[in-house]
Amino acid sequence: MLIKDTEEWANNLFSSAKLGDKRRTKRLVKLSHLMASNTGSSIVKASGTQAAIEGSYRFIRNDAIEADDIATAGFSSLLSELKSSKNILALEDTSTLSYRHNVTKELGFTGASKKCKAKGMLAHSVLMVDAQTEHTIGLAEQHRWCRKDEDFGTKHQRKQREYKTKKAINGNVLLKQ
């Protein structure tokens, strides 16, 4: 989707976010606008000023802010556009997000072996597209998870495990119906 006015886009997408404090929502809109205006840039480069950089990192590190609350605001903002489309395609894919810097301690292995130093997370996303106009509506859902270190390398054992012990994307145990 081509975003012409990133400030308007960020406001439409996240102004209804319920983050426990209006200032947090305002910071989310500002950070989203900065990152969308500077695609491919780091937070430092996109923010510009030292105050904006510090505000962005304080927002990211804030334990009172839940990723699901941000996602819910974004998903909810799509409802009116979804209602106006007659035919909608829901495109799904899982992406691996890999990182190599010092915050990776909290993330899981993403490579084919533990020798790979990159750690990260997986994100299964559902992108909504208007089938007639080919207009991207936006993300309708996303599940994010990290592989546990102790579970890494057990793929070859999947056929030996009982079905009821296997996990779904969101970490809940699946049971036969």
Which domains, ranges and CATH numbers included, belong to the chain? 1-77 (1.10.246.40), 80-150 (no CATH)
Rounded mean pLDDT, 88-117: 78
| pLDDT bracket for residue 172 (50, 70, 90) | very low
pLDDT of residue 170: 44
CA distance 114 to 111: 7
- What is the per-residue pLDDT for 153? 61
H or E stretch including 79? helix 79-84
pLDDT for 1 beyond 60: no
DSSP sequence for 116-161: ---EEEEEEEEEEEETTT--EEEEEEEEEE---GGGTT-GGGTTTS
Which residue type does 58 have?
Answer: R
Using one digit for the tens of pLDDT, what is the confidence trace for 37-60?
998 899 999 998 999 999 999 999
pLDDT-derived band at 118 (thresholds 50, 70, 90) equals confident
pLDDT tier, 119 (very low <50, low <70, confident <90, very high otherwise): confident
Claim: this prediction has a pTM higher than 0.85: no
Give the per-residue pLDDT at 17. 94
- Which amino acid makes up residue 98? S
Angle of the 6-14 helix axis to the 22-37 helix axis, nearest 10: 140
pLDDT value, residue 136: 87
Segment 150-160 mean pLDDT:
63
Q: Which of 15, 12, 9, 14 is nearest to 39 (CA)?
A: 9
